[in-house]
Chains A and B, each alone.
Chain A
Amino acid sequence: MLRFILRRALLAIPSLFGLLVLTFFLIRVVPADPAAALAGENATPAQVAEIRRQYGLDRPLHEQFVVYLGQVARFEFGESAYSRRPVALDIKQRLPATLELTVSALLLATLLGIPLGTIAAVYHNRWPDTLLRVLSVAGVAIAAFWFAIELQLLFAMDLGWFPLRGRMSSGLAAPPAVTGFLLLDSLIAGRLDAFRDALHHLVLPAVTLSLGGIATIARFTRAGVLETLQKDFVLYERAQGFPSRALIWRFVLKNSVVAAITQIGLLFGALIAGAVVVETIFDWPGIGFYTVQAILTADYKVMLAVTLLIGVIYAAVNILVDLVHGLIDPRLREQL
């Protein structure tokens, strides 16, 4: 199993390297004068020259690339034009908020999507299936911002069940940052009040973000279960006298989720993109919100750092997906 994981991790290296090359060229080559772009609009020619020297832009391309690799390895992304703080520091502070949101949404999507998809398959072409199909089309089609605002109107404004925005009530002291995940940090500090408050704040944004994911996972689970039900081993398991419900949840499902789990990996990209919208609407202090600001102010350094970050997260998630596949199917484990 360890070999399997290592092998998968090694496989991610070429694509990460490709990402580095791509970003390198995007910054150094595509802008007519990268030094001018880096220095900003109001820089004097002297400042531009200084930046050119400082960034080594006067040196040959391959040397510049080595320098660039070094900077990335040391997380040196410079200072954000927008926040006037080191980009790495901004990201370090904001990343946990986004991860907390996306991971919660993903968890929600998985925990709801898999059972819903299974139920749809069991009631193939009967009303629960039809209903779920309609809902899943709606789930994919509904615009996140519209849904978010509807949720805010109903559950925050009218019913007052959940807070309208933010990650934590302003009156409440945040627990000391250990992981940066408010839920975890509250538990570590033994602060149940903070935990409840953070969870309360998380519900609406996480539900909004999970919507498309629930639909996608349900759809792929349904297809997977329907396919598995055609297999000989299901007939054999039925011939052994298992009641059909036990058979589905106990035996069929595990064979059926492979495709859905691949989708979960792909979904993570969509979730990060969705986080931009959701964080903006719910005033969630994460990377998405930060990136919007960076794009609006053409903050190169932030965009570069965020691009690399998303690439790394994407690779990590896909390694994780392969790992789960390996855990599910022993034949995959042995292929490597």
Chain B
Amino acid sequence: MSLVLDVRNLRLAVKTDEGRAQILDRVELALPRGRILGLVGESGCGKSTLVRAVLGILPKNAVIESGEILFEGEDLLRLSERELARRVRGSRIGFIPQDPYLALNPVFKIGAQLLPVMRWHAPAPADGPRSGAALLRAHRSRLVEILRRVQIPEPEAVLERYPHQFSGGQRQRLMIAGALACSPRLIIADEPTTALDVTTQLQILKLLKSLATEFDVSMLFVTHDFGVVAQLCDEITVMYAGQTVESGPTATVLGSPQHPYTEALLACHPDRARELAGIPGAVPSPLDPPPGCRFWPRCPHAIEYCRRRPARFSEGRRGQLVNCRLADPLPDAAA
């Protein structure tokens, strides 16, 4: 099966005042075409940093040390800033941010924010208008059509309104419309429902699921809510402290989790509908990550070997990728 997004062995560090922080360490992620992948992990595990690395919008102090980010087979890390802006970000990869309250520029009308994106990427139809006012009209009518599709009432009037005139749910619909505007191949949504109330959350999730099929777009969906994953996603990748710890099809990972961290996360909320809470301990600071397996200070199965164990993937019982000695067929030193 071909992969839309294939992140391999990604390592990323940030230089801070207190020293060098290893934010991402050997991250692996594979998103098959046409699927929705849920990226799960507690807050501070590096999910947003991974998203920003894929989009090429990392903070200035971040350095990618190694790895590949293959998008439709092309390594994004080899592209220049210009190429990324021109033909990846916003055009082939759409982005839905976490907080729709903060992500819209308060002093511009909706139309003035979304239409320039379409103009910049100019997905002019082959037989359609090529320039000027006609092109703008074409973009406008496409945007209006998408706004209608994401269930925004009075889409024409909406273009003339300012962000503060919308509710949170409506703003998130606007962001979804913005992400779809240029017909992307991949949509990355970074906790798009976290800032919303439960009812709105459900509506947005349903909408995303149907849009993914309708627009034939793959989706990377970041969340810390397993309930959301169960409802929406085909695949799961679990991250802990900057590392991928387990990944595979949703049913497999939820049905027979093999990494102790995944187990712990699932055990926190058996009804799988609440936010993650309650694993004893905290995500270690990336400034001073524990040696060996990063989960050992909190892991109920930790043994001395885990402190020396390098991150290493093996295939779990049902084919998922697991980064733990318990799934490792060749533990160097058994207990």
Q: Mark B138-180, 1 if CB is under 8 A from A, else 0.
A: 0000000000000000000000001010000000000100100
Q: Chain B CB within 10 Å — which of A329, A330, A331 has the most? A: A330
With contacts A233-B103, A240-B90, A241-B91 known, is A331 near B164, CB below 8 A? yes
In the complex, what distance in Å separates the CA atom of A231 from the CA atom of B55?
A: 17
Pairwise interchain contact B106-A242, C-beta atoms closer than 8 A: no
Name the distance in Å between A210's Cβ and chain B's nearest Cβ.
Answer: 27
Pairwise interchain contact B105-A241, C-beta atoms closer than 8 A: no
Pairwise interchain contact A329-B89, C-beta atoms closer than 8 A: no
* A residues near B215, Cβ cutoff 8 Å: none
* B residues near A240, Cβ cutoff 8 Å: 89-90, 95, 117, 120, 178
Which of A61-69, A88-96, A249-257 is the interface stretch?
A249-257
Total cross-chain contacts (CB, 8 A)? 76
Q: Mark B85-115, 1 if CB is under 8 A from A, else 0.
A: 1101111000101010011111110000100
Q: Quick one: closest B residue to A242, CB to CB?
A: B120
* A residues near B82, Cβ cutoff 8 Å: 243
In the complex, what distance in Å separates the CA atom of A217 from the CA atom of B84?
A: 34
In the complex, what distance in Å separates the CA atom of A232 from the CA atom of B113?
A: 14
In the complex, what distance in Å separates the CA atom of A27 from the CA atom of B252?
A: 89
Pairwise interchain contact B85-A241, C-beta atoms closer than 8 A: yes
The number of residues on chain B lying at the interface, defined by a beta carbon within 8 Å of a beta carbon of chain A, is 31
In the complex, what distance in Å separates the CA atom of A9 from the CA atom of B90?
A: 44
The number of residues on chain A lying at the interface, defined by a beta carbon within 8 Å of a beta carbon of chain B, is 22
- Residue B8 lies at the interface, judged by CB distance under 8 Å to chain A: no
Q: Quick one: closest B residue to A233, CB to CB?
A: B105
With contacts A242-B85, A330-B162 known, is A236 near B95, CB below 8 A? yes
* B residues near A331, Cβ cutoff 8 Å: 106, 162, 164
* A residues near B121, Cβ cutoff 8 Å: 241
- CB < 8 Å: which of A235, A241, A250, A330 contacts B97? A235
Q: Which of B117-147 contact A (CB under 8 A)?
A: 117, 120-121
- Residue B116 lies at the interface, judged by CB distance under 8 Å to chain A: yes
* A residues near B164, Cβ cutoff 8 Å: 330-331
- Residue B57 lies at the interface, judged by CB distance under 8 Å to chain A: yes
- CB < 8 Å: which of A238, A250, A329, A330 contacts B57? A238
Name the distance in Å between B181's Cβ and chain A's nearest Cβ.
Answer: 9
- Residue A283 lies at the interface, judged by CB distance under 8 Å to chain B: no
- Residue A193 lies at the interface, judged by CB distance under 8 Å to chain B: no
Q: Quick one: closest B residue to A243, CB to CB?
A: B85
Name the distance in Å between A242's Cβ and chain B's nearest Cβ.
Answer: 6
Name the distance in Å between B189's Cβ and chain A's nearest Cβ.
Answer: 11
Q: Quick one: closest A residue to B57, CB to CB?
A: A238
* A residues near B113, Cβ cutoff 8 Å: 237, 251
Pairwise interchain contact B107-A329, C-beta atoms closer than 8 A: yes
Q: Quick one: closest B residue to A330, CB to CB?
A: B162
Pairwise interchain contact A241-B88, C-beta atoms closer than 8 A: yes
* A residues near B99, Cβ cutoff 8 Å: 232
Q: Chain B CB within 10 Å — which of A235, A239, A243 has the most? A: A239
Nearest first, the 4 A-B pairs at minimum CB distance are A241-B90, A240-B90, A241-B89, A232-B102
